[in-house]
Amino acid sequence: MLALRKRLSYQQAKWALVLLLLLSLLMSTFQVFIDWQDEKATIQKQVMSTLYIVENAATEAAYSLDETLAKKVLTGLMRSNSFHTARLEDDLGYELASMYRPLEPLSLRWLSERIVSDLPQHFRLPLNRNNHLEVGTIIVTIDSGTVTNGFIRRSFRLIGTSLLSAMLLGAAMFMLFYVQISHPLSRLIGQLSLLEKAENDPAQLQFKQTSREDELGILARTITALWHKRKKVESELAKREAYFKAVLHQSSECMLLTNLKGEILDCNHETCRLLMYDAPKLLTLNIQDIDPEQTPSLLQDWMKSAQGDPKIFETQYRRSNGESFPVEVCANIIYLDNEARFLASFRDITQRKKDQEQVKFLAYYDALTSLPNRRFLNQHLDKVITEARNTGQVGGLVFIDLDRFKNVNDSMGHHVGDALLIEAAKRIVSCLSESDIAVRIGGDEFVLLLPVLANDHDEAQHRATILAEVLLAQLSKVFRLEQTDLFISASIGISLFPFGEASDSQILRQADTAMYEAKKKGRNGFRFYRQEMLQQITDLAILEKALHGAIHDNEFYLVYQPQVNNYGVLIGYEALLRWFNPELGFVSPARFIPVAEEIGLIYEIGDWVLENACRQLRIWQDMGLPPSFEGVAVNISPYQFAQEGFVNSVEKVMESTQIDPSLLDLEITEGMLVENIASVAEKMWRLKEHGIRFSIDDFGTGYSSLRYLQHFPINQLKIDQTFVRDLSSDPNSHVITNTIVSMAEHMNLSVLAEGVESTFEKAILENIGCTRYQGYYFSKPVKADLATLFLKDNEVFPFERQDA
């Protein structure tokens, strides 16, 4: 055994203790020094804070030379043990009062007087009145022993505690070094010494000579002697095997170990759980019983090609009940006891496969109807067209839009709308063959891809026609949803392919164009794409673009068509809108008004017409109107009239133009009266209160009903020109016109016939009892300047007519 002084534990503990004592002393001293600086500043702040507390009272005593008050101030000040003496002087240095307290006997006063010599003993506080007049001074002397006594005691405790901690730590380190190093090494040395005395081993041992005589030297010689011992290698191998088994059995992954014949050598609990085998049974199987693809020859190939990097692949494993399921395998060839082994870790990826399928489904199929979506169509349409072009067969693309679906959504809610779409999709699919594909591309729009219809165009068109008729019949049947019967229809557009070099997007656009043509023609029908449809779409786009700038570019203007009585006397004008575009020329109102209503420009255009007609009316008012002149009629669009602020906009125009409201005649259609009777009546009566008159335009072509008319302040009915034109050839038109005149007479309404173009028509109307007319027989619509001349000259019609 080594002597105590030579042991590493003794040497380490000894020097550690010395260093700890020195460091503790230095750190404690440094800490005391730092704390003293803080303590000194704190003492000075506390003394001055105490003086500031009595500053106001002391200032008052010094200013008034009140000795009694001064003594009270110092008495209060001396209640603090920190002060030894206190004195209050006036501004001339005379003492007003002073106090003294004897120094308290303290055991450490002698030390405080030496250590805290840099602490000021005397403190002065000048007393100023009104911040500028010095009236005296407070002078105090602190008891340094008292104020520093606590600090000195803390410092002693700190130093003592640090030294004691260092000594205890040194003793603990000594015991620790002995227990953890010296004693174990001594035992190890004894054991290794026995090994050195063995019969065979000493001859094989080779020691590196060393001059060290401590435990580490002995350990170095011993390790050198045992470096080549097989037991160390065996120990390392045992550790590795134990580590491998721990990883294998404790892993949360399923793990299998086989030899290159596929025989399962080991597995963990997760593998048994997933494959539904107990461990003993599983260890009798071959990996081919779980994965038929893992043959021994494949394992041999694995060993030959293995470079140490694991391979990840997907395959199907089989459970004990015969059920197969997808797994992701991470496999490698490893070596245990110099034998090649196949190690596989795997996981069940059934849910991941389902998730991938769901993602793929959502990417290419509609979640609501489970039909393919637009992305699916885009990927397949070009292939189908190319195939048809190569085989010479004719296919088709059918574009379906459900009519009035928005009404269902708005009135019954989106859940009913969704249910309707699902049912409609089922009906559409039921009409198709196996090769046909139904696609929902969004909203209430469906597309049918028909890869093969026929070998020639005519037969393909015939079959597409039959399919369209079947689709319309199916979709027009009642839908029973939430105890409610719903009826819809569909507009269908059909484009056949391949013809020409039309691409997939062009063919889809053609079918879409044909669908809109069907919708325009009244819905619940189908149309085949024709080349002229594209031109119509192009023309419509040009018209829309030009229409957006028409007001800004001053392309609109008004013309006025005279309205006369049976004597030809001018009784009013109807203001009519005209549009001249530099590129399009004169554009008929019948062409651009529906477009303006569709794209929302009718509101701006309607306001422009009303304002400009009223401005012209104001000019005529200022000029002076003949007694027979009743006013100017302005057509109001249903969209314009339906606006919430329509009445306010009319009132604003009347206010800005200062017209006589009784001279303004607003013409509305019968259809407007039945949309919302209460709202329409409320607006008309509000305007009627201003004196505005109302006429029903094109009367007899819409919802003619006395029940509706009685709710509204109507002044005049205008017989539609179709009845007037057929008076001479159609007895029904004669009867209808006669009925309108008779009804108006009983309701105390005036009647004006539109479109009067001959003396014969005027005579029939006059014979029936209609005495107010408008039409080309009397005059075409004329511009404002000519209309003004008619008023000035009190013109009687008909006469030589002017063109607008």
Of the candidate ranges 263-277, 423-437, 600-614, the one whose mean pLDDT is the lowest:
263-277
pLDDT for 74: 85
pLDDT band for position 675 (cuts 50, 70, 90): low
List Cβ neighbours of 549 (8 Å cut-off, separation of 6 or more).
555
Question: When comparing pLDDT for 694 and 198, which is higher?
Answer: 694
CA–CA distance, 490 with 511 (Å, rounded to integer): 14
For residues 656-675, b (16+ Cβ closer than 10 Å) or e, as one string?
ebebebebbbbbbbbebbee
Could you give the residue ranges of the DSSP H alpha helices within 277-349? 279-282, 296-305
Q: Cα dihedral angle (289, 291, 297, 298), rounded to 10 degrees? A: -170
Helices (H), 336-477: 350-364, 374-391, 405-412, 414-430, 457-476
pLDDT of residue 645: 92
Query: Strand, helix or coil at 198?
Result: coil
d(CA 168, CA 174): 10
Intra-chain end-to-end CA distance of the chain, in Å? 134
Confidence (pLDDT) at 691: 96
Residues in contact with 369: Cβ distance below 8 Å, sequence separation at least 6, in sequence order: 421, 422, 425, 440
Identify the band that residue 91 occupies on the pLDDT scale cut at 50, 70 and 90: confident
CA distances from 412 to 480, 482, 485, 676 (A): 13, 10, 12, 19
704 pLDDT above the threshold of 80: no
Quick check: 481 pLDDT over 80? yes
pLDDT at residue 796, rounded to an integer: 93
Residue 354 has pLDDT above 80, yes or no: yes
Residue 104 DSSP class: P
Q: What's the burial of 45, exposed, middle or buried (CB within 10 Å: 0-12/13-18/19+)? A: exposed
Structure token pair of residue 472: 């319309």
Query: At which residue do the structure tokens 């039309």 appear?
Result: 502
Summarize pLDDT for 200-232 with one digit per residue, the tens.
454 444 434 344 566 555 655 666 655 455 555
CA-to-CA separations, 364 to 220, 240, 505, 512, in angstroms, rounded: 72, 52, 18, 21
CB 163 within 8 A of CB 25: yes
DSSP state, 715?
Answer: -
Entry pTM = 0.48
Beta strand 750-754 pairing with 525-528: unpaired
Q: Which residue shows structure tokens 């009223």?
A: 614
Residue 702 CB neighbour total at 10 angstroms: 17
Q: Return mean pLDDT, the chain.
A: 84
Per-residue tokens: 736 = 């209808």
Return the residue matching tokens 């399919």: 467
Question: Residue 122 pLDDT > 50, yes or no?
Answer: yes
pLDDT of residue 499: 79
Q: Is the dihedral of CA 543, 545, 548, 552 positive or negative?
A: negative
Q: What is the pLDDT of residues 45-87, one digit of tens each?
A: 888 888 888 888 888 888 888 888 888 888 888 887 778 888 8
DSSP assignment letter at 182: I
- pLDDT higher at 505 or 149: 505
Residue percentage of the chain with pLDDT more than 70: 85
What b-and-e string marks burial along 615-643, b requiring 16 or more CB atoms within 10 Å of the CB?
Answer: ebbbebeeeebeeebbbbbbbbbebbbee
